[in-house]
Structure 1
Amino acid sequence: MLYEIIGIARPGNIAEVKEIVLSAGQIILRNGGVIRDIKNWGTFRLPNAISRHQVRYTKGHYFIMRYDAGIKTHQEVRETLAVDPRIIRAGGVKLGDGKLETLAKFRDIPWKRFE
């Protein structure tokens, strides 16, 4: 199945974001999955302030991963991101059923940066 995870990491350190994506990618590849796309969206203001690990955040560093994997792998990636203290918030969705007709409908999203 094709999955997509959007994560929000603590702002200010791109090396942390790279480490987070690397650890999630290793889980996917170790379990036989295929990473389709990784995007770094950059730092944006959060719609609402979020408190996580006794810190209040108003900005976050957004990233997105699209990958093919099984449900167990997807759950493992979500659980890993949920316990990582560098992650403010992460959410994942199933995008398709793995058929080419379905996958052809998903394109890049044009995002505008506001700061």
Structure 2
Amino acid sequence: MLYELIAIVRPGSINEVREIARNAGAQVIRSGGVVRGYTNWGTFRLPKPTTRHQARYTDGHHFIMRFDASGPIQSSVRRTLGLDPRMINFSVVKLGDKLEEIKDVEGKVEWNNHRSIMDLIPPSS
């Protein structure tokens, strides 16, 4: 099955982000999974202030990891990330489980910075 991990790490050191991403990827690989790719989106403001591990955050460093693994491996990655005090938030989304659905999905996830909020508002008559 193909999964996408969207993770938000406390801002500060890029080395912390690399270490968390590397550990999550190593956990997938040790369990027989495959990491398709990582994407670093950088640091930007959170939608609302968040409190985690007795600290309040308004910004977070975002990265995405796409990986192929079984359900138990995905659960293990979630459990490990949930215990890391450097994590602000994360989500694991299943992108598909059939070869036809996932064969063309790339490892890199581009940020859509060409679209503005005005593109979402229909023109008035």
Q: Report whether the alignment pairs 1:63 with 2:63.
A: yes
How far off its partner does 1:104 sit? 5.1
How far off its partner does 1:103 sit? 1.9
Deviations 1:68-115 (A, max 9, x none): 00111000001110110000001101101141x312564644333xxx
Q: Report whether the alignment pairs 1:102 with 2:94.
A: no
Choose 1 or 2 for highest CA Rg.
2
Identity %: 51
- If the length of structure 2 is used for normalisation, what is the TM-score? 0.83
How far off its partner does 1:52 sit? 0.5
Q: Which amino acid aligns with 2:73?
A: T
Q: Which amino acid aligns with 2:47?
A: P
Question: What is the root-mean-square deviation in Å for CA atoms of aligned residues?
Answer: 1.4
- If the length of structure 1 is used for normalisation, what is the TM-score? 0.90
User: Where does the alignment leave 5 or more consecutive residues of structure 1 unmatched?
Assistant: none
Q: Report whether the alignment pairs 1:52 with 2:52.
A: yes
The count of corresponding residues between Structure 1 and Structure 2 is: 111
SS in structure 2 opposite 1:12?
coil
SS in structure 2 opposite 1:75?
helix
Q: Which amino acid aligns with 1:19?
A: E
